[in-house]
Amino acid sequence: MATCSICSHPEVDLINQAIVDGDALRDLGKEFHCSEDALWRHKQSHISKHVQPVHPAPVMVHSILAELASMRERARDVEDEALLNGDPNLILKAIREEARIIESLIKLASLVSDRDIAMRKEIVRLEKNPEWIALRYKLGMALKPYPEAFKAVKEVLRESGN
Separation CA 18–CA 88 (nearest Å): 52
Q: Are residues 69 and 137 in the same domain?
A: yes
Residue 3 domain-assigned (yes or no): no
Residue 1 domain-assigned (yes or no): no
Q: Are residues 43 and 98 in the same domain?
A: no
Separation CA 61–CA 109 (nearest Å): 9
Per-residue pLDDT band at 50 (split at 50, 70, 90): very low
* Domain hosting residue 134, numbered range: 58-159
Separation CA 123–CA 78 (nearest Å): 20
Residue 40 domain-assigned (yes or no): yes
Q: Are residues 126 and 144 in the same domain?
A: yes
Q: Are residues 124 and 71 in the same domain?
A: yes
- What's the pLDDT score for residue 143? 82
Give the pLDDT confidence of 137-154 residue by residue, as tens digits.
778 888 888 888 888 888
Residue 2 domain-assigned (yes or no): no
Tell me the CA distances in angstroms from 13 to 80, 82, 114, 146, one per residue in order: 54, 56, 33, 66
Q: Are residues 96 and 153 in the same domain?
A: yes
Instruction: Classify 146 as helix, strand or coil.
Output: coil
Q: Are residues 38 and 69 in the same domain?
A: no
Residue 155 domain-assigned (yes or no): yes
- Residue 76 burial by Cβ neighbours in a 10 Å radius (0-12, 13-18, 19+): buried
Which DSSP string do the residues of 105-143 spell out, in sequence order?
HHHHHTTS-HHHHHHHHHHHHHHH-HHHHHHHHHHHHHT
Q: Which residue has the higher pLDDT, 128 or 30?
A: 30
Residue 4 domain-assigned (yes or no): no
Give the pLDDT confidence of 59-71 residue by residue, as tens digits.
566 677 778 888 8
- What's the pLDDT score for residue 34? 93
Say how many domains are in the chain: 2
Per-residue pLDDT band at 13 (split at 50, 70, 90): confident
C-alpha torsion angle, residues 89, 92, 94, 98 (rounded to 10)? -170
Residue 7 domain-assigned (yes or no): no
Q: Which residue has the higher pLDDT, 105 or 53?
A: 105
